[in-house]
Amino acid sequence: MNLSRRRFISITAGCLLGAHHAIASENMGARWQGIALGAHADLRLVGLPAREAERLLLAARAEIERLERQFSLYRFDSALVRLNATGSLDAPGPDMLELCSLVSTIHQASSGRFDPSVQPLWMAYARASGVPDRKALAAARAATGWSKVEISADRIRLRTGAALTFNGIAQGFITDRVVDLLKAQGLEAGLVSVGEIAAVGASPGGEDWVIGLADLEDGPPDDAIHLRDRAVATSSPRGTMFGAGPAGHILNPETGMAAPANWRRVSIVHRSAAIADGLSTAGVLQGAAELRAMVARFPDASVRAIDRTGNRLAA
């Protein structure tokens, strides 16, 4: 099946897959809803006859499911959970190795601010409702450091006490994979979002897709960008909080502290949703000059950010 530019796909999702499924209508589109990674997920295909949409929806779900078995922290059978539990992962698959390569690129470009080895820090904050004591922080910091992770085609190995989280890049990576799959199935135009948003081709009116930006995932947009064959990822220091404590979910691997509320949000645009995802995560830990310099290292990237006083940065 070939999709014309007047017949497009729009996919939205909270994240990965769960257990509930529903069809949007008998004649047009398909929809799936469920629980994934502990949150509500919503995956929709619109603008297609139901049978065609359902077939593509199943293919997209299967791809998301496959990648969740690699990168999820919430599935006991995922490769990442096994790596964190045992400290070693033999024969990592090509997706895991490619993601690790992207992590290394962004880690270097961000002067170490993007670092998936912060998982011990994240756990210390989570256990203490956002207010860990100095001893817990010191122990967690001693276990962090992406440079300490040994990566080869044969094995990924962690030091004692170390653990990884790919939550700052995996959603973008999976979005890219779903885009690739749907393009192979004939997608010429549409929006694909599995946590981050990728715009494929032109909108049904032949113009760029208009994407709203907001501080919170379910908040009202206060700005908009226009995308075509680009992806956007947004991070906010206070988008998710640790219990009633003052700390947000994005942590500085160098200091062990939560990202300061200097930025309300940082949005990165790039042709790769994975790169946009990782850069936006690192961006909230940086000042304006650092953020500009990091983004400049990626020729296809641009930034739209707003600080806590309402000043906007665009580069």
What residues have CB less than 8 Å from 276, skipping those under 6 apart?
Answer: 172, 196, 231, 232, 233, 268, 269, 270, 301
Query: Residues 11, 45: contact at Cβ < 8 Å?
Result: yes
Q: For the whole model, what pTM was predicted?
A: 0.87
Q: Which two tokens stand for residue 216?
A: 């919170």
- More confidently predicted of 261 and 233: 233
Query: Residues 237, 284: contact at Cβ < 8 Å?
Result: yes
Query: HSE-up of 311 (CA within 13 Å, CB side)?
Result: 6
What's residue 245's pLDDT? Answer: 60
- More confidently predicted of 184 and 220: 184
Residue 118 CB neighbour total at 10 angstroms: 27
Candidate CATH numbers 1.10.3980.10, 3.40.50.2000, 1.10.150.20, 1.10.1040.10; the one for domain 79-157: 1.10.3980.10
What's residue 185's pLDDT? Answer: 84
Query: Residues 191, 197: contact at Cβ < 8 Å?
Result: yes
Mean pLDDT value across residues 55-59? 85
What's residue 275's pLDDT? Answer: 97
Highest mean pLDDT (candidates 48-57, 63-72, 245-254): 63-72
What's residue 273's pLDDT? Answer: 94
Largest Cα–Cα distance of the chain, in whole Å? 60
What's residue 286's pLDDT? Answer: 92
What's residue 99's pLDDT? Answer: 98
- More confidently predicted of 188 and 112: 112
**Per-residue confidence at 25, pLDDT binned at 50, 70, 90?**
very low
Q: How far apart are CA 249 and CA 247, in angstroms?
A: 7
Provide the residue ranges of all domains of the chain, joining segments of one domain with +: 79-157
Contacts 24+ apart (CB under 8 A), 22-29: 23/50, 23/54, 24/50, 24/53, 25/50, 26/50, 28/53, 29/53
Using one digit for the tens of pLDDT, what is the confidence trace for 142-179? 999 999 999 999 999 999 999 999 989 998 999 899 88
Q: What are phi and psi of 303, to 5 degrees?
A: -130, 140
